[in-house]
Amino acid sequence: MPLAKREPLAGLIAQALESGGPRWVTSRGACHGELLPDGARILLEPFGKRPPQQGEIAAYLSPQGREVVHRLCHSDARGWWGNTDTALAMERTGRLIGRVTACRHDGRVRGVKPLAARAALAWFIHRLYRRTHGRFGAGGRLVFELVRRLKPRLYPHTA
């Protein structure tokens, strides 16, 4: 099973963060629009004593066993749910690796903070996902359009 094979790698990364502090890593694939462009260097920090927060961007192991960076949308007794590459879908996270706190791209470094509006968007995605189970009716399409229009305000173009 891919998750079992990748778990030791995620554990090593998490341990390295805990023992050695923050680490810069290169991201692959566009994530969160312009917030984390492909090839950007992202600063991963250990969760330490401050637990993950709703709306925070984190690195974790996906159900398919890949290390991914997505927004944390909801937590329950079994762990966290993260936003997927699809705007209004979620997946249960595997092992949490660390939080993303900064992005370096094109010679500039900017902080990545869980703004209140982004936490609200994460909450909204969770509520919609729970109600629709990933299927979109007319209401789902309306909400999808609303989120599509809000994303540029939440993730402004950095160029």
Q: Taking a C-beta distance cutoff of 8 angstroms, is the pair 86, 73 a contact? A: no
Using DSSP's 3-state secondary structure scheme, residue 36 falls into strand
91 φψ region: left (φ > 0), alpha (ψ -120 to 50), beta (else): beta
82 forms beta bridges with 72, 91
pLDDT at residue 146, rounded to an integer: 75
Q: Which of 9-13, 23-27, 126-130 is predicted with the least confidence, judged by mean pLDDT?
A: 9-13
29 φψ region: left (φ > 0), alpha (ψ -120 to 50), beta (else): left
pLDDT in tens, 57-113: 888 887 777 788 888 877 888 888 777 665 556 677 777 888 888 889 888 888 887
Assigned CATH topology for domain 2-154: Umud Fragment, subunit A (2.10.109)
Q: At what angle do helices 116-132 and 138-154 cross, to 10 degrees?
A: 160
* Pairing between β-strand 23-26 and β-strand 57-61 as defined by DSSP bridges: unpaired
pLDDT at residue 136, rounded to an integer: 52
Q: Please state, in angstroms and rounded to a whole number, the distance separating the CA atoms of residues 24 and 100.
A: 10
Higher pLDDT, 4 or 29: 29
For the chain, how many residues are written? 159
pLDDT in tens, 120-155: 777 777 777 666 554 555 566 666 677 767 777 766
Task: Note the pTM of the prediction, 2 decimals.
Answer: 0.64
Its sign, for the CA torsion 112, 122, 45, 85, is negative
Return the DSSP state at 24: E
Q: Please state, in angstroms and rounded to a whole number, the distance separating the CA atoms of residues 99 and 40.
A: 15
pLDDT at residue 34, rounded to an integer: 64
pLDDT at residue 4, rounded to an integer: 36
Q: Taking a C-beta distance cutoff of 8 angstroms, is the pair 71, 91 a contact? A: no
Q: Please state, in angstroms and rounded to a whole number, the distance separating the CA atoms of residues 142 and 124.
A: 13
